């Protein structure tokens, strides 16, 4: 492709993504749908030129997705405020994420195995990505909710990401080594790995904080990000839950004064690093925006409209979403003891992590995606339906809030009129 075309295309794509993001904040319409749609439309018009060699996307999309995954988890962890006052809502968010995630995996696995006829191990690996809430979509969409619900969504979706990825990597590692998924030995091994990773994460956090303070060069935050990606790569190489390291580093970044052990805080100038932490957060957010933009654009570009002519993927996608929605509805109605659905019921979009984990299944030797009824078309339909349901619920919620505010203002004005004493009007006339 001509260099001039690329120089025009790349900045325009970023500008469009920024406009989509601004539009999303105003309307609550998920920007990732607009990005994927842009990629699909672009692919549709490119097809008329006769260009069909897009094999490079098979390698590019997983790389972008992995970097985006690291950045999203890091950004989400940095935004978590951990203190004693918020422990109840943190525990509620963790419990909801864990229970709903496990329930979705078990039910979807049963449906895939007994109704769709998929082998047990493959059914579990398909069920996990479809059970994970996308924090990258849920958190921005919850901005207009009341503080308590918004904080709950932040914690629940972030924990859903972390737990889902850990369970997926654990299951994949067990199946590839022909070991049982459930057992005392694998669970003990996993717990020991997590504790080891936590200790290593503390040391890495301390080293990176020292680097922030010691490096005088004006470019240092991308060095920190590069080191984190390198840590993740080493963790993946040795089959360790490396994403936990990223998550813990992000949490300590934003809560270093309250979480970092005293013997480590003693050697750090925490007041001097507050500004740098803020700047690092901004860099992470902008890097996440950039990587997420190109990931969803290229993912949309990899989709051909002709693949969606069959109604079977639509049926499978609707069935999967209904299962996900019913489980979530039952959880919140049971825990809140209310039959009327809470706004939180609708806040369960699927997104980047589901796509990325699904792409990883292509490299698994004992899985052939071309011979299974659950494919990328079904995944995309589940993502779109979950986002649209979330969008409709937020619009309905905003309308209810507006009507409530109008009624409150009218009742307040009526009360003010009624409560004006008669003498005040006479005094006004005299004046």
CATH code, domain with 334? 1.20.1530.20
313-348 burial, b at 16+ Cβ within 10 Å, e below that, comes to: beebbebbbebbbebbeebbeeeeeeeeebbbbbbb
SS3 assignment, position 264: helix
Domain region containing 141: 3-430
Taking each helix axis as running N to C, give the angle between helix 376-418 and helix 31-46, from 0 to 180 degrees, rounded to the nearest 10: 140
Q: CB 427: neighbour CB atoms within 10 A?
A: 10
- Spatial neighbors of 71 by CB under 8 A, at least 6 apart, are 225, 284, 287, 288, 291, 292
Mark out the alpha helices in 238-311 (DSSP H runs): 242-254, 256-259, 262-265, 270-301
Tokens representing 210 are 């020292």
Q: What is d(CA 156, CA 94) in angstroms, rounded to the nearest whole number?
A: 6
DSSP 344: G
Tokens representing 18 are 């920024």
Q: What is d(CA 276, CA 209) in angstroms, rounded to the nearest whole number?
A: 10
pLDDT digits (tens, 9 = 90+) for 255-311: 777 776 666 666 666 666 677 777 888 888 888 888 888 888 888 887 777 767 778
Q: What is d(CA 274, CA 251) in angstroms, rounded to the nearest whole number?
A: 14
Cβ atoms 285, 75 nearer than 8 A: yes
Full DSSP string of 177-200: TT--SS-HHHHHHHHHHHHHHHHH
Q: What is d(CA 126, CA 101) in angstroms, rounded to the nearest whole number?
A: 13
Phi/psi for 184 (5° steps) reads -65, -45
> Tens-digit pLDDT profile for the chain (431 aa)?
567 877 888 888 888 888 888 887 777 777 888 888 888 888 877 777 766 666 667 778 888 888 887 887 788 778 777 777 788 888 999 999 999 999 999 999 999 999 888 888 889 999 999 999 988 788 777 777 777 888 888 888 888 988 888 888 888 888 888 887 777 777 787 788 778 877 887 787 778 777 777 777 777 778 888 888 888 888 777 767 677 778 888 887 777 777 766 666 666 666 666 777 778 888 888 888 888 888 888 888 877 777 677 788 889 999 999 999 999 999 998 887 666 767 888 888 888 888 888 888 877 877 777 778 888 888 889 998 998 888 887 766 555 454 444 554 444 444 445 454 554 444 444 43
pTM: 0.80
- Spatial neighbors of 197 by CB under 8 A, at least 6 apart, are 235, 240, 241, 242, 244, 245, 248
Taking each helix axis as running N to C, give the angle between helix 270-301 and helix 184-214, from 0 to 180 degrees, rounded to the nearest 10: 120
Q: What is d(CA 298, CA 244) in angstroms, rounded to the nearest whole number?
A: 27
Q: What's the domain count of the chain?
A: 1
- Specify the residue for token string 């919140």: 332
- Spatial neighbors of 304 by CB under 8 A, at least 6 apart, are 43, 47
pLDDT digits (tens, 9 = 90+) for 149-181: 888 888 888 889 888 888 888 888 888 888 877
Tokens representing 30 are 């998920």
Q: What is d(CA 135, CA 73) in angstroms, rounded to the nearest whole number?
A: 9
């Amino acid at each position: 492709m001509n260099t001039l075309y690329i120089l025009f295309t790349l900045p325009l794509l970023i500008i469009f993504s920024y406009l989509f993001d601004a539009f999303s904040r105003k309307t609550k319409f998920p920007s990732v749908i607009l990005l994927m749609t842009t990629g699909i439309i672009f692919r549709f018009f490119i097809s008329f030129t006769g260009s069909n060699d897009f094999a490079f996307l098979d390698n590019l999309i997983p790389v972008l997705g992995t970097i985006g995954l690291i950045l999203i988890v890091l950004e989400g962890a940095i935004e978590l405020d951990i203190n004693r006052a918020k422990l109840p809502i943190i525990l509620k968010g963790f419990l909801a994420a864990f229970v709903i995630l496990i329930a979705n995996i078990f039910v979807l696995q049963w449906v895939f195995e007994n109704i769709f006829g998929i082998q047990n191990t493959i059914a579990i690996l398909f069920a996990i990505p479809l059970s994970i809430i996308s924090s990258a979509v849920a958190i921005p969409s919850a901005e207009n909710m009341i503080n308590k619900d918004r904080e709950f969504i932040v914690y629940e979706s972030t924990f859903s990401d972390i737990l889902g990825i850990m369970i997926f990597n654990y299951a994949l590692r067990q199946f590839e080594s022909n070991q049982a998924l459930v057992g005392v030995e694998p669970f003990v091994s996993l717990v020991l790995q997590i504790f080891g990773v936590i200790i290593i994460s503390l040391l890495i956090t301390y080293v990176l904080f020292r680097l922030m303070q010691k490096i005088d060069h004006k470019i240092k935050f991308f060095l920190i990000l590069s080191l984190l990606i390198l840590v993740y790569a080493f963790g993946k190489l040795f089959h360790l839950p490396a994403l936990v390291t990223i998550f813990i580093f992000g949490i300590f970044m934003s809560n270093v004064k309250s979480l970092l052990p005293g013997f480590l805080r003693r050697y750090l100038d925490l007041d001097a690093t507050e500004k740098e932490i803020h700047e690092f957060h901004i860099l992470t957010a902008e890097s996440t925006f950039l990587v997420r933009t190109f990931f969803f654009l290229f993912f949309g570009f990899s989709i051909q409209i002709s693949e969606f002519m069959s109604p079977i993927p639509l049926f499978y996608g609707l069935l999967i979403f209904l299962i996900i929605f019913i489980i979530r509805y039952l959880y919140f109605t049971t825990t809140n003891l209310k039959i009327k659905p809470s706004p939180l019921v609708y806040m369960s979009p699927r997104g980047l992590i589901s796509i990325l984990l699904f792409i990883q299944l292509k490299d698994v030797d004992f899985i052939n995606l071309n011979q299974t009824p659950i494919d990328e078309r079904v995944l995309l339909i589940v993502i779109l339906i979950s986002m649209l349901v979330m969008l409709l619920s937020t619009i309905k919620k905003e309308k209810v809030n507006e009507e409530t505010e109008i009624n409150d203002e009218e009742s307040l004005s009526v009360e003010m009129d009624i409560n004006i004493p008669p003498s005040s009007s006479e005094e006004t006339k005299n004046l």
